[in-house]
Amino acid sequence: MHPIEVLERYWNYTSFRPLQEDIITSVLNNEDTFALLPTGGGKSICFQIPALIKDGICIVVSPLIALMRDQVNTLKQKGIKAIALTSGMSYKDLDTQLDNCVFGNYKFLYLSPERLQQQLVQERIQRMNVNLIAIDEAHCISQWGNDFRPAYKNITTLRQIHPQVNCIALTATAKHNVINDIVKNLDFVAPKIFKASFTRPNIAYQVIHTDDKLFQLEHALNSHKGSAIVYVRNRRATKDINDYLNAKGFSSTFYHGGITNKEKKDRLQQWLNEQKQIMVATTAFGMGIDKANVKNVIHFNLPESLESYYQEAGRAGRDGSLANAIILKQHIDEDHLKKQFLSTLPSIDFVKRTYKMLCNYFQIAYGEGENSTYQFDFKTFCSTYKLNPSITYNTLILLDRNSVITLTQHFNFRTKIQFLTSNTVLFQYLEKHLRLNTLVKVLLRTYGGIFDYETKVNLNLIIEKVGIPEKQIIAQLQQLQKDDVINLEMANTDSEITFLKPREDNITINPIVKTIEQQHLLKHKQVSAVLNYINNDSVCKNQQLLAYFDEKTTATCGQCSVCLQQKSKTKKADTINISNQIINALQVEDLSSRQLLKAINCSEKELINSISQLIEIRKIKLTYANTYTLI
């Protein structure tokens, strides 16, 4: 079958995007292939189509569990057999799924690089008819790549098991040294390298310097109508800014890792189906989501790196129409960025001490603990050892990324409930236990299937609806369990930790010291690059981004904040200047600076400068009502 026929059959497209067909042809010719395609460039098709054409199964290595699940679900909807080996899978389920891959005519097996360490997985892959090895987010294999993961080094195991099978590595962001690292570490033979340009000519990159971010956010959304993503730093901010936008009349919803799966699905569909115009989210949102008509991607806080910013900004304008990628920058943001991403980097000594404390906390003896799993209460752990939560959390993430531990965060899914009685018996019980009435009714109205099957319950949501303290809610649930009204499973922790190596204290940590130091150096360079980007108002923003990714151009984009500012400086004399526009507007009525900004086509900086000059030459003055009036 020809690639275009597969594309039409499963994806309903009649033509490929740039480079896709060349990459697919290279893979079908059994060449080791490297593909750098920017966000929205259609990377997955480059390995999925050749894998469907070839006999056998494609093994896809990816570090992102959510993305694996999304791709597997999408393939299943197309009638293509695919499996993902995700975390939390029992040995029995793992064994069954691997058997399916050997005997069940499956076309795709998705797994994390950590899974490749398991003997069972390696043995079963050896028995599979593997037709292609696909490495997604391939920059993770390079020590200088964004989100370097040492476990990616295990991918060479696949090449040793199936040396005759070719490999494709894919990424959206990689500099020249990272590409060389990927090719070397994956042991590519005569690799075919395909690099799409990083330029997105339809995206206007803008950095807006302001002391009033909320007003500028509102102004940007009003100026550029259409679907939007507003990225913020933390979960609380998603709700706060969503509430602000809704109060201002915008159609908005919010999304973060702590909401239930049902809430995630419902809110995503509302946004995808245009029922909600704006999605306020943490930066995890958007991975694997292909919404073509996003007009605005707005970063309310500074991004942590230009790699992540380019990927997040690239979620705008995938339909080819003009779109905006806007960063709102306040004078204090630089300090916040350094504090969040640099001052919370753990020292080597801190990593070693925290690892020992973790082992002591769970009473793991020296030489023991490998593959043991424990319920983990992060707050209690920090409190017990008087540890800084931010630095400690980054330490745990670092230990997870370097395959010393696995950290699984449960968030709100810690409580499971199923009612054991009939409706009649339940209401007879409530007649004698009136104080439990409200809790029971809230549970029944919130979770429809709670009589039929064990149901995950968001305890925080129940507490909010019932309106009594957490301790009382827990006591009431325990009473219902004691009286055999419900079956209750309640974890008293917010996380789970699995130790992947036996405890050997410093000997366990020493092998990853060099990696930690390199990751810290990379993070400093990334933050420095972000600060240079937002503060450079003399070079076209598109040129700056291209230069960062080792791509040079002499052409300016003509639409970024720098290009627009330079255009305004070179306006012809007959153009009405901003000062005259201000005077003309104030002849009608007194106006505030916000009202003037809405009325006049200029930047906030240009407006403030013009207002200052007019006040200085005594043309206007500020009133007690905080508006400007003519003198």
Q: Does domain 203-338 have CATH number 3.40.50.300?
A: yes
Spell out where 455-585 has E strands.
455-457, 486-490, 495-499
User: Residues 410-455: pLDDT tens digits?
Assistant: 544 468 899 999 888 999 999 999 999 999 999 999 888 898 888 8
Spell out where 9-150 has E strands.
33-36, 57-61, 82-85, 108-111, 130-135
What is the C-alpha separation between 59 and 50, in angstroms, rounded?
12
Q: How much is the CA Rg of the chain, to the nearest whole Å?
A: 28
For residue 429, give the H/E element and its range.
helix 423-432
What is the C-alpha separation between 9 and 106, in angstroms, rounded?
18
What architecture (CATH level 2) is domain 342-411+495-524?
A: Orthogonal Bundle (1.10)
What is the C-alpha separation between 36 and 138, in angstroms, rounded?
9
Q: Are 229 and 272 in contact (CB under 8 A)?
A: no
Q: Can you give the pTM of this predicted structure?
A: 0.74
What is the C-alpha separation between 400 and 406, in angstroms, rounded?
5
CA neighbor of 378 nearest in space, from 348, 364, 357: 357
User: Residues 543-558: pLDDT tens digits?
Assistant: 999 999 999 899 999 9
What is the C-alpha separation between 555 and 564, in angstroms, rounded?
14
Cβ neighbours of residue 265 closer than 8 Å, sequence gap 6 or more: none
DSSP at 92: H
What is the C-alpha separation between 601 and 533, in angstroms, rounded?
25
Q: Which fold has domain 3-195?
A: Rossmann fold (3.40.50)
All residue ranges of the chain with pLDDT < 50 are 411-413, 572-575
What is the C-alpha separation between 206 and 394, in angstroms, rounded?
31
Cβ neighbours of residue 617 closer than 8 Å, sequence gap 6 or more: none
590 CB neighbour count, 10 Å cutoff = 16
DSSP at 16: P
What local confidence, expressed as pLDDT, does residue 598 receive?
A: 86
For residue 462, give the H/E element and its range.
helix 459-466
DSSP at 229: E
Q: Are 445 and 451 in contact (CB under 8 A)?
A: no
Domain 571-630: give its CATH code.
1.10.10.10
Cα dihedral 332, 338, 343, 345 in deg (nearest 10)? 150
Cα dihedral 398, 401, 404, 409 in deg (nearest 10)? 80
Identify the three-state secondary structure at position 595.
helix
Tokens of 490: 């309640």
What local confidence, expressed as pLDDT, does residue 490 receive?
A: 75
Residue 524, judged by CB atoms within 10 A of its CB (0-12, 13-18, 19+), counts as middle
Cα distances (Å, whole numbers) of residue 27 to 158, 192, 531, 615: 17, 9, 39, 67
What is the C-alpha separation between 187 and 341, in angstroms, rounded?
33
**How big is the chain, counted in residues?**
631
Strand-strand pairing, 495-499 and 405-409: antiparallel
What is the C-alpha separation between 586 and 113, in angstroms, rounded?
64
What local confidence, expressed as pLDDT, does residue 166 receive?
A: 96
Tokens of 276: 């909600």
Cβ neighbours of residue 629 closer than 8 Å, sequence gap 6 or more: 586, 590, 620, 621, 623
Report the chain's terminal Cα–Cα distance, integer Å.
Answer: 79
Ramachandran category for residue 317: left, alpha or beta (phi over 0 → left; psi -120 to 50 → alpha): left
What is the C-alpha separation between 116 and 85, in angstroms, rounded?
11
CA neighbor of 307 nearest in space, from 448, 191, 426, 198: 198
